[in-house]
Structure formats: structure tokens, C-alpha cells
Amino acid sequence: MPKARETVLEIDLKALKHNYEYLKSKLNNNTKVLAVVKAFAYGSDADEIAKYLQDLKVDYFAVAYISEGVALRDAGIRTPILVLHPQAINFKILIERCLEPSLYNAKILNEFITVASEEKQNNYPVHIKFNTGLNRLGFDENDVDTVVSIATETSTIKVKSIFSHLAESENLKERDFTRQQIERFKHISDAFTERIGYKPILHLANTSGILNYPEAHLDMVRSGIGLYGYGNSEEEDKNLKPIATLKSIISQIHTIKKGETVGYNRAYKSDDLKKTATIPIGHADGIGRQYGNKKGFITINGSKAFIIGNVCMDMIMVDITDIDCNEGDEVIIFGDHPNASQFAHTANTISYEIITAISQRVKRLIIDN
């Protein structure tokens, strides 16, 4: 990897390939893989990630919103794209760009049929989401007859898949709850298939579902965080490679006398002679204020340097008193060590939050070698 000369997020496509192949090794040969590339591919670069995975023959993509699907189409992605949380105001655009909606209640289902009919669609692929315990989006189990009735009264749509979402698949202490979700979904899918007269694609497992519940793999699995290098457990993290490394440099080194303060609100007061380094990254780049005051740390020349004082909008200051370093030296915010999970843990949060928070003003550098 090249040495950083500015704040940069390096994205390692070979690590992405490793993660994709590792996750696929857990599946039967006929199980499809849906790659979740919402939120700029979890804070990396959705266009580049999707292009690379398309070359690896991934079966499906998923995004949260229609605008994200449009951006992928504009980037040349032709693989099917599931939109997980579409809004009715954009249904016409969704159809124009050949995106496939998740429909989760009678209102949104009927609204889509109306727009699809106006657009003279026939057998337009839709995905029906059922709620099995996450209680976020989805039809209830007792809505099967209603959905089938609506879907079979029109030739405008065809149900491409039915799916649900596991709530606690990473927490093995909640096996009973997860297995109840799996059984509930199997009951729903059996009833749905019998009533509609054909078998849609069935999918339920997220990354932790792939790793922990083989019985939930069904026809297709959905992976987001696993593709980006995190398995929601220390043990599985060892089998995956973080694709993103956030780097920066030391802009300036200061010597701070005993009693002097650092940063806004004078949040750090030195208890002795200290050396500090100022790094050009801050809460506008995704490093929130919760990482300040010695909670978060970065790595300089292999040593931990704790963030002192409050995180600024564009800068952090770190304690380098016992570190041999110079202005211009590279620093690692997260990557292999600490990885994003370890970095996030210092502020009592999770890898998802820190990696998706990295601002789009941070330069992305694609590594493919």
C-alpha cells in the first residue's frame, strides 16, 4: 500500500474478492448471492465495488433508496438491483431504470401497481417483504392471503422474491429467537408459494445468518458488512479482510507545557510536558466528537496515539509523547489494526457506523493489485 500524503480511504478490491469467496464457500452451489451496496457501499465507493462484484458474477445488488440504484445504473451496472425502501414518489423513475422494489404493506403494494399499470408494465418484478420479528418493515404473517389476492388480480407485477430480515443472527445467545424467525419465514413462504402457484426466490440470511445459520440460506443470501470485512464476531473477523483503510498524516507537532490546554473548550489540560500531533481529519469527515478525550486512538508507526481534547470539524489532536514520529508521517485511523470494529468499540458503537460515516470529501483510492 502506498504511504499517505493526505487523508485518504484506501479500498482494497482483492480483500473484497477474498471476503466474497469466503462467504460463498459457506453456501451450496445453487444459492444465489445478493450484495448490499447501499450507503456508498458501506462508506467505500459503490460504483467501484458494484463493478468489481458484477465482474465476479454476483447475482443481485441491494440498495436502500431509488437514487442509489439510479447511480449504479449510471455507472454501468446491469445486474438486478433490489431497492429495499423505495418511496412511491419515485416509482416511475424506478421503472424507467429497471430497478426492483421491496413492497412491505398494502398501501405501497397498491401504489406500485397503480404506477406500473400507468407505465403499461407486464409481470414487473417485485419483492415482498414479511416481518418475522424485526418489527421494522414488512407484511404480517396473516397478510399472505391479502398479498396473493392483490398480486394475482393483475398481470402488471410478478413476485420475484419474498424475504424477511433476521434481528439477532450475530448473537448466539438469541438462537431460539432466530430459529423462531426462520421457522416463521418458512411457514410464510410455504403458504405463499402454495397460494400463488409458483415459487419465488426465498431469502432471509444476512451476513451473520450466512455464518451462523446454514438452514436459513434458502435460495439466496444477502451480505453487506461481511463483504466489507466484518463478521460481527472476533472469530469471524479473523476470516475476513477489511477492505477499507483510513489514513492521514501528521500536519504539525506541538510541545505542550504542564497546565496548557488543547482544542476547543480547553477540553484537554496537560498534567506534564507533552507532545501532540495535529491530524487533518475531524467530525466533518466522520470521526465524531465521541472519539475525543482519550476514547479513540489512531496508530502512528505501530504505536497507539490517543485523541486528546474535543474532535474538531476538520482536525484531531493526538498524544505522541512517547512515539518517535515527524511531521508528514503517515497515520492509520482504522484498517487491519485497529480495524473499524476496534476503533468503533472505543466509543461504544459498531463498525457499521464508523465506516458508513466517512465523508464523501475524503478521497477514495482504489487498490487492485
CA distance 132 to 204: 10
Mean pLDDT of the 26-31 span: 97
22 a catalytic residue: no
pLDDT tens, 286-336? 999 999 999 999 999 999 999 999 999 999 999 999 999 999 999 999 999
| Three-class secondary structure of residue 358 per DSSP | coil
Class of domain 244-367: mainly beta
pLDDT value of position 234:
87
Please spell the DSSP secondary structure of 1-39, one letter per residue.
-PPPSS-EEEEEHHHHHHHHHHHHTTS-TT-EEEEE-HH
CA distance 227 to 224: 6
Q: Which helix (H) or strand (E) holds 152?
A: helix 144-152
Indicate whether 46 pLDDT > 90: yes
Q: Retrieve residue 238's grid coordinates.
A: 479473523
Mean pLDDT of the 9-20 span: 98
Cβ atoms of 193 and 199 within 8 Å: the answer is: yes
Tell me which of 173-177, 327-331, 335-339 is least confident. Answer: 335-339
pLDDT value of position 264:
96
pLDDT value of position 337:
84
pLDDT tens, 248-258? 999 999 999 99
In the chain, the DSSP E strands lie at 8-12, 32-36, 60-63, 81-83, 100-103, 124-129, 157-163, 201-203, 220-223, 244-249, 252-256, 261-262, 268-269, 274-279, 297-300, 303-308, 316-319, 330-334, 363-367
Q: Which position has the grid cell 413492497?
A: 103
Indicate whether 109 pLDDT > 90: yes
Antiparallel, parallel or unpaired: β 261-262 and 268-269:
antiparallel
Q: Considering the chain, what is the average pLDDT of its residues?
A: 97
Indicate whether 193 pLDDT > 80: yes
pLDDT value of position 73:
98
Cβ atoms of 293 and 308 within 8 Å: the answer is: yes
Mean pLDDT of the 222-228 span: 98
Domain boundaries, the chain: 31-228, 244-367
CA distance 77 to 17: 18
Q: How confident is the model at residue 281 (pLDDT cuts 50, 70, 90)?
A: very high
264 a catalytic residue: yes
pLDDT tens, 130-155? 999 999 999 999 999 999 999 999 99
| CATH number given to 31-228 | 3.20.20.10
| Three-class secondary structure of residue 137 per DSSP | coil
Q: Which of 228, 250, 343, 247 is nearest to 290 (CA)?
A: 343
User: Which residue out of 258, 264, 269, 304 is catalytically annotated?
Assistant: 264
Indicate whether 1 pLDDT > 90: no
Of all residues in the chain, the percent with pLDDT exceeding 90 is 97
User: Which residue out of 17, 20, 22, 38 is catalytically annotated?
Assistant: 38
pLDDT value of position 203:
98
